[in-house]
Amino acid sequence: MPNAPSNQPQSADELLMQLRYLQNLYAQQYENLENSIATYTMTNTSLLRNIELLEKSKSVEGSRIMISGEGGAYVPAKIEKIDRIMTYVGGGYMIEKSVAEAIEFLKSNSKTAEELLNRMLSDKKRLESELVDIEYKIGAMQYQASQGSERR
């Protein structure tokens, strides 16, 4: 029977090289996941602050505020009545909504972000476990190699 290509590593060195490759790949995925988690956490925090602000919108009517302009300039303004607001819907688009509609829209976005965060945290935990397993296998192989070289 002719020699068929084998999916099995030919040597311990080859297996160790494959494990290190996987370790680096998982470490990169882990880092990307941590960055995504941080981004979505900040986004969700911003959504929650906006929801809180909109829920208190009636209490700020008649208040004087400073509106930020470009270059650090601020312009004084007075909040009259807040009936409708512009809501960012993605893709560079904003639409006008009532305060109640905006609150519901932001709550829906916050719920979606929380679900995504939970999935990412689960993936992070899985990656951590796989990284520990790979590191253990690498350590065991290095230990076996060192024991084998000491016997010679």
Model pLDDT for residues 65-117, shown as the tens digit of each residue:
888 887 889 999 998 888 899 998 889 999 999 999 999 999 999 999 999 99
d(CA 73, CA 34): 36
Domains of the chain: residue spans and CATH: 12-56+83-151 (1.10.287.370)
Burial of 134 (0-12, 13-18, 19+ CB in 10 A): buried
Counting DSSP H helices and E strands in the chain, the numbers are 3, 4
The DSSP symbol for 5 reads: P
Please report the pLDDT score of residue 124 as a whole number. 95
- In sequence order, the 6+-apart residues with CB closer than 8 A to the CB of 144 are 12
